[in-house]
Amino acid sequence: MIDTLRLTAEEAWRLVDGREISGAELFAAYAGREDDLHAYLHRCDDPGGDGIPIAIKDVIGTKGVPTTAGSKILEGYVPVFDSTVASRCKQRGLRLLGKTNTDEFAMGSSTENSAFGPSRNPWDPTRVPGGSGGGSAAAVTGGLAPWALGSDTGGSIKQPSALCGNVGLRPTYGTVSRYGVVAFASSLDQVGPVAKTVRDCAFLYSIIAGRDENDSTTVEVPTVELPGAEDLTGVRIGVPKEMNEAEGIEPGVSAAVRRAIELAESLGAEVGECSLPRSVEYGVACYYLVAPAEASSNLGRYDGVRYGLRSDAADFREMLMQTRHDGFGDEPKRRIMIGTYALSSGYYDAYYGTAQKVRTVIRREHADVFESFDLIVSPTSPTVAFKIGEKVDNPLAMYLNDLLTIPSCMAGLPGLNIPCGLSEGLPVGLQLIGPQFSENTLFRAGHALERALGFDSVPERLR
């Protein structure tokens, strides 16, 4: 009997390689598990391959397999080409289990914006799994996949991983190809791994990362080192006070993060305070200009002409408007409007132009901090998983979920979430952020902390 709740990808791969179980058996173990979390929008038959199974977020294009980005406007759309990441997974023999739920076009922090209904948190099905990549995070923790791919624009990998109690990496911007990934905000979108352990996360990252000639913004990346060290000797860890003392951080979250920082110190890390005042103060505001601006342009292609939904109307103009009216949910509409406004002539300088300047400030402020520290830490999410429906009527409260994940995304920096304890019986995520291309440092530190913390990633109710 395969325990899909506990089996790591590394162990699964070892079992398949050693012919202790067949790849098909392994696939069946995950595929046969009932999806009572609504983690998947679409589940696949075993496509074969010599590797282990994987789940992929539904914004990531998969040839021959429906890819809706959680939107009605793409209902029934089946890509004719693989995204680069899907193709790299295929080349390594990974077998696609299915496409996981997401907020529509990855816009949201709870999956409640999915046109196909929310996913549920494996720790408490009345709560959200986070978002937008809640489906991938719920699948990994809920025993529905050994690992998964997510995508992160302002926290869509890190925050769901925090709320579901697993490991998620948002890689350095430019290390993973965006080719074939439904675009939300192109200058921010990054695909990354979601896994049960830091080593799994590092391994999946090594499969998908690297220069892709189909994505001009990608670069060559340093060779990925699977972490093994269990100490943090010589690692300089900064604790930005604005990110650890921000208003709205729940006391239970603060406490768990503080304990993790103390643990890091006992493992040999040099811990010191630092400051990112403007990044935290302006990050969210800046993000909610840049991301919607790019989204307003990226979502223009859903016009009913070539694929996806087409509403009936007398002429092109009417068809276009009716299709977009019928096909987009409230959140994409909201962001298209904000973004269109921010780019409008007469407002461009005040909004988009200024946001880009602030982004440079955020980048510099982070760079300054990394003069003195190898990485910085904070809570990933200010709160533990909230109730389904709790914040749907308050977009601003929902946006503040990403207060702590957004600044480093704006700076293009990598961030790793590892679970660091429980608060009110729900997982708390620790965010580790490093300078550009510091993934190996994040893996090393994440792994050492993970071992020392000994967090049991199987939800109590499922043990």
Partner 1 sequence: MSNWEAVIGLEIHVQLKTRTKMFCRCPNGFGGEPNTQTCPVCLAFPGALPVANRRAVEECIKLGLALDCEIAERAVFHRKNYFYPDLPKAYQISQYDEPLCARGKLAVPTENGDITVGITRAHLEEDAAKNVHVAASGRIHGATATLVDFNRGGTPLVEIVTEPDLHDAESAKRFLQLLRQTVVELDLSDAELEKGSMRFDVNVSVRPAGSDELRTRTELKNMNSFNFAAKGIEREIARQIRVYEQGGIVEQETLHFDPAHEESPPMRSKEEAQDYRYFPDPDLVPVHPPVDVVERLRGEIGELPGARIKRIADTLSFYDADVLVTGGLDRLWADVVAAGAEPKEAANVLANQFVATGIAPSAVNAAELAKLVSARAEIPRAAFDEALAKTGDAGFTAAPYLEQKVVGDAAELDPIIERIIDANPGQAEQFRGGKQGLLGFFVGQVMKETGGKADPRVVNERVREKLRA
Instruction: List, in order, residues 6 or more apart from 396 with CB less than 8 Å away.
Output: none
Q: Which sign, positive or negative, has the C-alpha torsion 260, 266, 269, 271?
A: positive
- Looking at the Cβ atoms of 280 and 342, the one nearer to partner 1 is 342
Q: Where are the alpha helices (DSSP H) in 188-307?
A: 198-208, 241-244, 251-266, 277-298
**Positive or negative: CA dihedral 439, 405, 366, 455:** negative
**Alpha-carbon gap, residue 430 to 427, rounded angstroms:** 10
- Nearer CB in complex with partner 1: 189/242: 189
Residue 245 CA to residue 255 CA, distance in Å, equals 11
Peptide bond into 132 cis (omega under 30): yes
Taking the C-alpha atoms of residue 6 and residue 27, their distance in angstroms, rounded to an integer, is 15
Identify whether 57 is a catalytic site residue.
yes
Catalytic residue, from 83, 87, 151, 156: name it.
156
Q: Which is nearer to partner 1, 83 or 121 (CB)?
A: 83
CB atoms within 10 A of CB 203: 21
* Cβ proximity to partner 1, 322 vs 340, nearer residue: 340
The residues, any chain, with a CB within 8 Å of residue 327's CB and separated by 6 or more, are: 71, 72, 73, 74, 302, 304, 308, 309, 311
SS3 97: strand
Can 132 be counted among the known catalytic residues?
A: yes
- Cβ closer to partner 1: 81 or 437? 81
Give the active site residue among 71, 83, 109, 132. Answer: 132
138 alpha-carbon distance from chain centroid: 12
Angle between helices 84-91 and 198-208 (to 10 degrees): 110
Query: At closest approach, how far in Å is the CB of 308 from partner 1?
Result: 8
In the complex, least distance from residue 402 CB atom to partner 1, rounded to whole angstroms = 19
Nearest to partner 1 of 151, 383 (CB atom)? 151
β-pairing verdict for 375-379 and 426-433: antiparallel
CB of 56 to partner 1, least distance (A): 13
CB of 61 to partner 1, least distance (A): 5
Q: Give me the residues that bind partner 1 (CB under 8 A), please.
A: 60-61, 67, 69, 74, 77, 79-81, 83, 178-183, 185-187, 213-217, 293-294, 296-297, 300-301, 303, 305-307, 316, 320, 340, 343-345, 348, 352
Q: In this structure, what DSSP letter does residue 7 have? A: -
Q: How far is the CB of 70 from partner 1 (least distance, A)?
A: 12
Distance in angstroms (rounded) separating the CA atoms of residues 261 and 267: 10
Bridge partner residues of 421 (DSSP): 428
Residue 145 in 3-state DSSP?
Answer: coil
Nearer to partner 1, 138 or 188 (CB): 188
Active site residue 372: no
Contact 162, 200 (CB under 8 A): no
Is the Cβ–Cβ distance between 63 and 79 less than 8 Å? Answer: yes
Q: How far is the CB of 342 from partner 1 (least distance, A)?
A: 9
Q: Smallest distance, Å, CB 141 to partner 1? A: 27
* Residues designated as active site: 57, 132, 156
